Chains A and B, each alone.
Chain A
Amino acid sequence: MVELLILQFLPLLGALIVLLLPREKKELAAVLALLTSLAELVLVFFLPEKLTVYLGLGLGVTMVLAFDQLTAIALITLSGASVFSILYSLRKPLGHERTPSFYSLILLVLFGTVGVSLARDLIQFYVFWETMLIPAWALVVNWNDDPQKVRYTGLKFFIITHIGAVLTLISILWIYSLLGTTNMFVLQGLLPGLPLSTLIAMAALFFMAFIVKLAIFPFHTWLPDAYTTSSMPVTLVLVGMMTAVGIYGFARFIPFFPREAVSQLSLPFLIASLVNMFYGGAMALQEKNVKRLIAYSSMSQMGYVLFGFATLVPLGISGSVFNIVNQAVTKLVLFTSVGLVAESASTWRIDELGGWAKRHPFAAVCASASMLSLLGAPPVLGFWPEFLTFSGGFSFGNYVIASLALVGSVLTAAYGLRLVRFVFFGPLRKENEGPVIRPSWNASLALAAGLLILIVFGIYPAPAFQLVRGALNLLGIPIGG
């Protein structure tokens, strides 16, 4: 019981302590933040399999916290991403910008996202959803690479994601007004009693927050700017933590609503995901700014995730749940390795890069591995969710849609290969010649950890898949035998 409370409030505590540090103590702030995230990550592994806690806060408000396999997957990803981002930021020469408030904000995002994963009460869910949004916005606006554009970007980011959240809130309040409770466990039994059309509308509204969070067309416009203008550690936080939470939201709530209602939404979701795959892929293909390219690739990948969920088939859903971890790891490694090169080259433009494998061999290896993971090529981690997602797509029954999704993966291959080819391969420009650059210890450690996860679990996915299977069983979606 206590463990869950610690899990929930540790990041908040860490954030407050870090915030109270004086401005000069940057390293201390960083280390504290790192330790907090690390502690969070480790704590997840020591919790028993299932745990539920009711926490009365007086005034008739009760918090419901619960830990199960799905939450575990999300928590591992979230704290892992947080560790990764903080680790990466340790030696960044940003000087005056890396203040304790920066780390405090990251921990607040962690607090919010952990709260989202642990929440089993709809209002609580919403509160923590908003809680993670605000520090994220603050991070984007204050730690960025493009001061002129950032106000517009930050505003766009906040408002669009907020609209999504508000629509979800409307749905929550509607549920509450009809059924009188917001406890998810209780609601699961009560919801089937409602008429079908009501349920469909409720579900459609409810998923809006996640749809916006996953940058599903046409609500994707916040993503490229937010990822591109924020500085690297912030981008890593957005990529690792926010998308993981969005995917988690889908995973938690697709089985939550009755099957008949959700199956009506299946086809629109499938079509939207196809649009994402192709549109994001097309944008990534012609993009000249490498960071923006990866951002669009993220949008395209989210299309695959939604596709997996929309099939409503156990295989497909398992692929997308697996993707919670995979997307985070793949994207983090890809962004970081390309980011290292961009730093050395002082440019993000693809036509000014090239041949950097010579000076950044380790980054080249990591970028190639994560690119392959993006494509879904073995023997790296990305193969498994991609395979599972497509299995789901073909089991779903509509071969046209499934085949279209497969064709979309060729587009992914095109821009991924192009990215690595033009950043790392080919001839190196004369002005960039020099000795091999060894990245600082923190970046290397983070990349090495990511690479290890990509390869080891790519070859032997059994432990990870067991966890996914357990999560799905819990949600009432049995897989295999």
Chain B
Amino acid sequence: MNLQAIPLYLLLVPLAGAAIVPLLNFFASRAVPLFSVLVGLVTAVIGFFLPGEIGAKTFSIEWLPGLLKTGFQLDTLSVVPALIATWIGFLTLIYSLGYMKHEENLSRYYSLTLLFIASMIGMSLADNFLTLFFFWEVMGVCSYALIGFFYKDPKAASAGVKAFLTTRIGDIGLLAAILTIYAFTGTFSISQGLAEGSKIALPFLNFIAFGFILGAVGKSAQLPLHVWLPDAMEAPTTISALIHAATMVNAGVYLLARVYPLLSLAPSWLVVIQWIGALTALLGSLLASFHNDLKRILAYSTISQLGYMVLAVGVGGVFASQFHLFSHAIFKALLFLCAGAVIHELKTRDIREMGGLWKFMPVTGTTFLIGALALMGLPVLNGFFSKDMILEEALLSGSWAPLVVASLAALLTAYYSLRTTAVVFWGKRRTSAHVKEAPAVMTGPLTVLALGSLVSWALVGPLTSSWIRTGLGAPQINWLELLKETFSSTAFLITVCVIVLGFLIFYYRRSLSWVKEKIPGFFKAVAVGLGFDIFYGWLSQQIYSTSGFLNSFFEERVMEGINKATGKGSVALSTSSRKMQTGDLHWNLLYIVIALIVILGLILW
């Protein structure tokens, strides 16, 4: 096997799978799910060989002849999202075998999922901004199509539209940034663009930074473009796990990490990034603490955790952000898939109708708990190490205010992770439905992911070493050193305090219910997501009515009025000219005589 072409195969296999699925569906629709899992398996296997290729730049194709060459770029930064997409994608496909068993139009589902995996791989491995943008957009299209998978449901269809439109706003920022870099450097190549970008004048660099940030904010559901992600939960839960937790939403963070060299040249925007990250983290955790739709809680939680990653980039901890990306992908996918199992059994998403499920779904319950603990950042689980690293970086860079906000968010995170687990799995049973454990094809991936949450932090050794190998600059540490460093850092104290406080709030939550009575307005605001959706709804309504007004007044009255006026004008002109045609012989003779006199006059003078 030609090792040089591994990234190419990694991209092509799922892509081919996506193309073959509809054809296969025509002949043998029952084979589609298994075929997709097979494709996923092959991709995952190829993925194993990918880290070995780090550092080697391979493969080049002329996409637009004479204009655009594209290829693959393999450093750790690019490999991590690709591998996440591959492996978690594979686990999700296995899970789908059970979860989507009774749905129709499966070929569309599997084809789009495979296409999505291919585009995530393509995006992260691209060495060229155009290719990156191409796959970035394809992911958006897949997300739109998959959110609206249950298209008969108006909520799902509208959620898909909302997602696409909101991320589109971000995408134009990304495109603007890419094209500005091109206008200045004449190249779309990422490495060249970053290298020569430092020569661009500051005002334009600010513009470029703004563009990239806008793109990341849209795709990674940060403030203020976060509104699409909670609604995107209309998608099948497997998609929520894969796209809206583990992969696509990370694309924005990946982008920021990738163009960090340029961003660091526009320091004012770095501060903006920090604040966006911190505030989003707080907002997400706040909303997650007070909502009752299981998937929505997880969605807000994702928004919050992405905020941490963005904050990390803002304070210069690029490695920390990617490390957290890695951990988060694993435990969040785990949480979503567990949620999927529960929802599948109970046919409801409201946690108030759940409770005491641990007895009936032990595997799901245990894995969910592990995921929740990782989310909370309990020591020894992967979430702890990565989150701690982020807080440490924030401390080191002296960004106190964002740090405080982020710590507050961590507090709430601890609270809601425990709360959710408790309400769903512990305590009294509030539902009368017959509940049994999910089938093995679904619990298998859960177990794998839970294991991952326990040990994935140990991979920090190989991760950092390859990081250095490709010149991205981070101190090399193996897992022992990581342990030592983390437990001895100042951030550790913060983390511990936060976890303890969170646990206490959770434990004494009933006695704290007087808070709700004191400030009901605040809680009402939280219930509607702090009004962002309302604002956007109002904004779109305004745009509609302006367009409507423009049409009814301007287009129909003014423009058509001009048309009709010209018509009427010509008719009026002709009617008045007709008066010359009197039909009277004498008038005609008079005209002749006058004309004669005039001509005579002209001739004689």
Contacts and interface: CB of A to CB of B under 8 A. Distances in A.
Contact of B183 (A279, A395, A428): A395
How would you classify the secondary structure of chain B's contact residues: helix, strand, loop or mixed? helix
A481 B544 contact: no
B64 A462 contact: yes
A480 B157 contact: no
Interface string B168-179: 110010011001
Interface in B115-161: 130, 133-135, 137-138, 140-141, 144-145, 148, 151-154, 157-158, 160-161
A461 interface: yes
A465 B67 CA distance: 10
Interface stretch (B282-290, B443-451, B547-555, B579-587): B547-555
B546 interface: yes
Contacts of A480: 64-67
A465 B64 CA distance: 6
A110 B513 CA distance: 77
B547 A421 contact: no
Contact of B164 (A221, A417, A424): A417
B65 A282 contact: no
Given A357-B151, A379-B134, A407-B172, A221 B550 contact: no
Given A378-B141, A384-B64, A465-B64, A285 B151 contact: no
Interface stretch (A43-51, A80-88, A235-243, A398-406): A398-406
B65 A462 contact: yes
B154 A427 contact: yes
Contact of B547 (A221, A283, A375, A413): A283
B134 A427 contact: no
A358 B67 contact: no
B179 A410 contact: no
Interface in A434-481: 461-462, 465-466, 469, 479-481
Contacts of A394: 176, 179-180, 182-183
Interface in B320-374: none
Contacts of A406: 172, 175-176
A56 interface: no
B152 A428 contact: yes
Contact of A377 (B66, B141, B153, B555): B141
A413 B207 CA distance: 23
B544 A285 contact: yes
Given A221-B560, A358-B152, A410 B172 contact: yes
A481 B66 contact: yes
Contacts of B540: 414
Interface in B514-560: 540, 543-544, 546-548, 550-551, 555, 559-560
Interface string B46-72: 000000000000000011111100000
B563 interface: yes
Given A355-B152, A417-B161, A282 B546 contact: yes
Contacts of A409: 168, 172
A218 interface: yes
A391 B179 contact: yes
A425 interface: yes
A371 to B, nearest CB: 10
Interface residues of B, number: 51
Contact of A427 (B63, B152, B562, B563): B152
Nearest to B203: A399
How would you classify the secondary structure of chain A's contact residues: helix, strand, loop or mixed? helix
B65 A465 contact: yes
A383 interface: yes
Nearest to B136: A378
A387 B130 contact: yes
Contacts of A407: 172
Nearest to A281: B547
Nearest to A394: B179
B137 A378 contact: yes
B179 A390 contact: yes
A372 B137 CA distance: 10
Contact of A286 (B144, B153, B183, B547): B547
Contacts of A395: 179, 182-183
A421 B559 contact: no
Interface string A357-374: 110000000001000100
A479 B66 contact: yes
Contact of B551 (A218, A287, A428): A287
A156 interface: yes
B149 to A, nearest CB: 10
A418 to B, nearest CB: 7
B182 A469 contact: no
A147 interface: no
Given A279-B550, A283-B550, A378 B138 contact: yes
Contacts of B141: 372, 377-379
Contact of B140 (A357, A377, A410): A377
A22 interface: no
Contacts of B140: 377
A389 to B, nearest CB: 10
Contacts of B555: 221, 283
A419 to B, nearest CB: 10
Nearest to B172: A406
Interface in B159-209: 160-161, 164-165, 168-169, 172, 175-176, 179-180, 182-183, 204, 207
Interface string B473-513: 00000000000000000000000000000000000000000
B180 A218 contact: no
Given A221-B560, A391-B182, A403-B176, A426 B152 contact: yes
Contacts of A469: 65-67
A395 B540 CA distance: 32
Contacts of B182: 391, 394-395
Nearest to B181: A394
B165 A286 contact: no
Of B144, B547, B562, the most chain A CB neighbours within 10 A belong to B547
A390 B175 contact: yes
A406 B160 CA distance: 21
B165 A414 contact: yes
A393 B67 CA distance: 16
A390 B173 CA distance: 12
A315 B544 CA distance: 34
Contacts of A425: 148, 151-152, 154, 157, 160
Contacts of A414: 165, 540, 543
Interface in B26-62: 62
Interface in A297-340: 315
A391 B204 CA distance: 16
A421 B67 contact: no
A368 B160 CA distance: 13
A245 B172 CA distance: 30
Nearest to A425: B157
A413 B64 contact: no
Contacts of B133: 387
A130 B32 CA distance: 55
Q: Which A-B residue pairs are the 10 nearest by beta carbons? A: A425-B157, A480-B66, A394-B179, A282-B547, A286-B547, A480-B67, A406-B172, A425-B151, A286-B548, A417-B161
7 contacts: A218-B562, A221-B562, A287-B551, A393-B179, A469-B65, A469-B66, A469-B67
Given A413-B164, A417-B165, A424-B151, 14 more contacts: A221-B562, A282-B551, A283-B551, A286-B544, A286-B550, A377-B138, A378-B137, A378-B141, A406-B175, A409-B172, A425-B157, A426-B151, A426-B153, A465-B65
Interface of B: 62-67, 130, 133-135, 137-138, 140-141, 144-145, 148, 151-154, 157-158, 160-161, 164-165, 168-169, 172, 175-176, 179-180, 182-183, 204, 207, 540, 543-544, 546-548, 550-551, 555, 559-560, 562-563
Interface of A: 156, 160, 218, 221, 279, 282-283, 285-287, 315, 355, 357-358, 368, 372, 375, 377-379, 383-384, 387, 390-391, 393-395, 399, 402-403, 406-407, 409-410, 413-414, 417-418, 421, 424-428, 461-462, 465-466, 469, 479-481
